[in-house]
A = this chain, B = another copy of it.
Amino acid sequence: MPAISERARLVPPSPIRKLVPYANAAKARGKKVLHLNIGQPDLPTPPEFWEAIQSAGIQVLDYTDSAGMPAFREAYARFYTEVYGIPLESKHFLTTTGGSEALLFAFLTLFSPEDELIVIEPTYANYIGMGWATGVILRPVQSHIEDDFALPAPEVLESAITPRTRGILLCNPSNPTGKLYSEVEVRKIAEICSRHGLYLISDESYRDYCYDGQKFFSALEINGAEEFVVVVDTLSKRYSACGARVGALISRNTTIIDTALKWAQARLAPPTLGQIGGMALLSLPKSHYDYVRDTFQKRRDTLIEGLSSIPGVKVATVQGAFYLMPQLPVADSDAFAQWMLESFDVDGTTVMVAPGTGFFSEPERGKTLVRIAYVLDVPLLEQAVEILRAALNIYAREEVPVL
């Protein structure tokens, strides 16, 4: 047969999903698996979503405009203006098939192959995949659990800039660390971008998840940064509607939106039902966001308290998203995560986590880290902590080699 392409051979599998076959095998053997590996909120999708689809009375499920339904984009702009206090118009929104496609379009529109993009590690694993897909080279700058994954100093960020650097990609709050970058930090990054003629891609998928009374500051709020700020957004996490596959590429620079539209045309249209239901979600009252945030803040508290009480586990203090990236007393988080699925349970239940290796360009850096998504209710999180405690107790003593 002809060869598989080099990029397809080299792109790593998702650290969040690569252990799925082991989880499926465990379930087939009758084991219960608590899924902390994937950022899929467990809250019910608001009923308004289903009511909107029902009442639309669709006869022909047709394509929408490539940029999304005009009414959907208007609802998105109104949502940003009224709920977030960021005045935007529908021309600033390109509707995408989830935040993932917004990233793809941003990479294709802003960067040429071999261009460099600075990311802060640990980083969202799929940025690495999108880099491979588009030929964009990710230049990692490290953040550290010892500093609660604080923003690297400006001089460290600037030292990563080369003649091929075209942008900085910030995930705020961060997937996978949960770090919430402050207004001061976001402005610092924008200043660097401005000074060096770089784009700032701000992935704000988790902006509704900010705890301890912290206010989220969007890159869209910076005066003077309109030309170079591009925001990646999604309805997935905000409304527990990951399967709707609807998000947006947002920029006040309409040249970017209008140019990205050509990529959008090449894939025809985003999902129609996600947009119809999504319009109703974007009109939910503010109480929705308070409820979601309060629910997840309790979970974070539970998880940090529980994990911190396990000997040898180190946890950062973080205030955003619904992820934690603890350091475990293991030498190989991939082997440990696989062992949890294959060989360990407490009364028939085990826990699935995402190994840290996939959140770094150099996987070695993540060997002792795992990503935990706190997308289960408090009692289940408490159970998950006890299972992890028991597992680490055995594993640390035996360091069971896998395979």
* Bound-complex Cα distance A244 to B274 (A): 9
Q: Which of B12, B49, B113 contacts A113 (CB 8 A)?
A: B113
Q: Mark A219-231, 1 if CB is under 8 A from B, else 0.
A: 0000000011000
Q: Mark A199-234, 1 if CB is under 8 A from B, else 0.
A: 100000000000000000000000000011000000
Q: Tell me whether B109 and A5 are in contact (CB under 8 A).
A: yes
Beyond A63-B38, A113-B135, A241-B61, is A129–B263 a contact (Cβ under 8 Å)? yes
Range of interface residues on A (Cβ < 8 Å): 35 or more
Q: Which of A182-190, A253-261, A307-315, A327-335 contacts B (4 or more CB under 8 A)?
A: A253-261
Q: A317 at interface (Cβ–Cβ under 8 A)? A: no
Q: Tell me whether A109 and B2 are in contact (CB under 8 A).
A: no
Q: Tell me whether A62 and B243 are in contact (CB under 8 A).
A: yes
Q: Mark A358-399, 1 if CB is under 8 A from B, else 0.
A: 000000000000000000000000000000000000000000
Q: Tell me whether A266 and B130 are in contact (CB under 8 A).
A: yes
Q: How far is the CB of A97 from chain B (nearest CB, A)?
A: 5
Q: Which of B5, B243, B260 contacts A273 (CB 8 A)?
A: B243
Q: Which residues between 58 and 84 of chain A lie within 8 Å of chain B, taking CB atoms?
A: 58-66
Q: Tell me whether A9 and B253 are in contact (CB under 8 A).
A: no
| Dominant secondary structure at the A interface | loop
Q: Tell me whether B38 and A59 are in contact (CB under 8 A).
A: no
Q: Which residues between 29 and 71 of chain A lie within 8 Å of chain B, taking CB atoms?
A: 38, 40-45, 49-50, 53, 58-66
Q: Which of A100-108, A143-151, A282-290 contacts B (4 or more CB under 8 A)?
A: A100-108
Q: Which of B59, B63, B274 contacts A45 (CB 8 A)?
A: B59
Q: Tell me whether A255 and B4 are in contact (CB under 8 A).
A: yes
Contacts of A49 in B (CB 8 A): 61
Q: Which of B2, B7, B16, B267 contacts A166 (CB 8 A)?
A: B2
Q: Mark A304-327, 1 if CB is under 8 A from B, else 0.
A: 000000000000000000000000
Contacts of A53 in B (CB 8 A): 53
Beyond A1-B253, A5-B108, A243-B271, is A45–B17 a contact (Cβ under 8 Å)? no
Q: How far is the CB of A134 from chain B (nearest CB, A)?
A: 8
Q: A403 at interface (Cβ–Cβ under 8 A)? A: no
Q: Tell me whether A40 and B14 are in contact (CB under 8 A).
A: no
Q: How far is the CB of A235 from chain B (nearest CB, A)?
A: 10
Q: Which residues between 329 and 362 of chain A lie within 8 Å of chain B, taking CB atoms?
A: none
Q: A270 at interface (Cβ–Cβ under 8 A)? A: yes
Q: Tell me whether A17 and B166 are in contact (CB under 8 A).
A: no
Contacts of A271 in B (CB 8 A): 97, 243-245, 271, 273-274
* Bound-complex Cα distance A167 to B4 (A): 12
Q: Which of B5, B64, B134, B266 contacts A115 (CB 8 A)?
A: B5
Contacts of A63 in B (CB 8 A): 38, 40, 242-243
Q: Tell me whether A17 and B66 are in contact (CB under 8 A).
A: yes
Contacts of A8 in B (CB 8 A): 108-110, 259-260, 262-263
* Bound-complex Cα distance A174 to B171 (A): 43
Contacts of A242 in B (CB 8 A): 61-63, 268-269
Q: Tell me whether A266 and B113 are in contact (CB under 8 A).
A: no
* Bound-complex Cα distance A261 to B180 (A): 31
Q: A172 at interface (Cβ–Cβ under 8 A)? A: no
Specify which of A2, A41, A104 lies most central, judged by the most chain B CB atoms within 10 Å of its CB: A2
Interchain residue pairs with CB less than 8 A apart (25): A1-B227, A1-B228, A2-B110, A5-B108, A5-B109, A5-B110, A5-B115, A7-B112, A7-B113, A11-B266, A12-B262, A17-B65, A18-B265, A44-B59, A45-B58, A45-B61, A50-B58, A61-B241, A62-B243, A100-B268, A126-B265, A126-B266, A126-B267, A126-B268, A129-B262
Smallest CB-CB A-B distances: 3 pairs:
A129-B266, A243-B272, A14-B265
